[in-house]
Amino acid sequence: MSTRQVIAVDVGGTKLAAGLVDGDGAVVRHAVEPTDRTGEEAVLAQLERVIGGLADGGFSALGVGIPSTIDQRSGRAVTSVNIPFADVDLRDRLQERFGVPVMIENDGNAAAVAEHRLGAARGARHVVMLTLGTGVGGGLILDDRLYRGAVGAAGELGHITLDLDGPPCQGACPGRGHLEAMASGLAAERLAARAVAERPEGDLGRAAAAGRRVDPRLLVELAAAGPGDARDVLDHVGFHLGVGISGLVNVFNPELVVVGGGFAKAGELLLAPARRVVSERTLVPARDTVTIVEAELGPEAGLVGAALVALDALEGG
């Protein structure tokens, strides 16, 4: 049994991915299934079953990335937006079940670790990571290390306020007008639905009438084809993303802002308007020393990050 193998799990709102990962971060075996969101116990049972299925390869630690705020003192997942997880005693429960050290990490933090170590932010010491999906996740690499804050809940970069009276934030978040409510895939869908209702003759309206699902994928497809409502929606979302990034650049002076997550597939359709706002609204010299790039690791970032966190725990003893 290899002592350097770990099992990593990325619990997403739609899918649960797990892997047996060797000491170099390479995924040896892989398992993916739709997340069972029928309840807390269902998610936990699924998590234990999937880990159990990989465990016969032998493993020395477990890393779990979850879309939740974490309290590292108690090892609890405190609140979650996209899975039915509230105040779950995750670390101790898994530790008891599998008898190995368990690290739990917010999924945005895990993605930041992965991009920093193996992806777009290799070699950078100060990095702001944003993951655009159903929500907006985040992670901070400050002085070459993941910044976890006082108890492990830092890096919720999607929950900074852009609009005092803006739309209510998602899930358990009590805020309004947060970056997540203005620049996530769901926010884009809401804007797109409004365009469909207001301008049925527009590109989005015609696609909807033809039976297409109005989602980020359709937005990207139509916006790439030329100007129209889809392009306007992505411009609008990119503008808000840029306002959020501008504030983060003023606060943290990162050399790199990495934008990942499924919705980041929109690429320059989002990043170009975001860069424009950052160049107009950010203080110098931070404005002139930051680069905004797309993530490199794609949907694997959360899994890889969870593995790296578990491997670090082994190194640290």
Which positions lie near Zn ion, rule CB under 5 A? 159, 169, 173, 175, 178
Query: Of the two residues 7 and 188, which places its CB atom closer to Zn ion in the complex?
Result: 188
Shortest approach of Zn ion to residue 183 CB, angstroms? Answer: 11
Count other C-beta atoms under 10 Å from residue 52's C-beta. Answer: 12
Write down the least CB distance from residue 58 to Zn ion, Å: 41
The string of DSSP codes covering the chain is --TT-EEEEEE-SSEEEEEEE-TTS-EEEEEEEE---S-HHHHHHHHHHHHHHHGGG--SEEEEEESEEEETTTTEEEEESSSS-SSB-HHHHHHHHH-S-EEEEEHHHHHHHHHHHHSTTTT-SSEEEEEESSSEEEEEEETTEE--TTTS----GGGSBS-TT--B-STT---BSBHHHHHSHHHHHHHHHHHHHH-TTSHHHHHHHTT---SHHHHHHHHHH-SSHHHHHHHHHHHHHHHHHHHHHHHH--SEEEEESGGGGGTHHHHHHHHHHHHHH--TTGGGG-EEEE-SSGGGHHHHHHHHHHHHHHHH-
Nearer to Zn ion, 57 or 167 (CB): 167
Q: How many alpha carbons fall within 13 Å on the CB side of residue 288?
A: 2
For Zn ion, give the closer residue by CB, 50 or 162. 162
Rounded CA separation 13/116 (Å): 24
Neighbours of 143 (CB within 10 A): 7
Nearer Cβ to Zn ion, position 166 or 175?
175
Nearest distance from residue 148's CB to Zn ion, in Å?
19
**Nearer to Zn ion by C-beta: 51 or 136?**
136
Nearest to Zn ion of 183, 256 (CB atom): 183
Nearer to Zn ion, 125 or 176 (CB): 176
User: Would you say 159 or 275 has its CB closer to Zn ion?
Assistant: 159
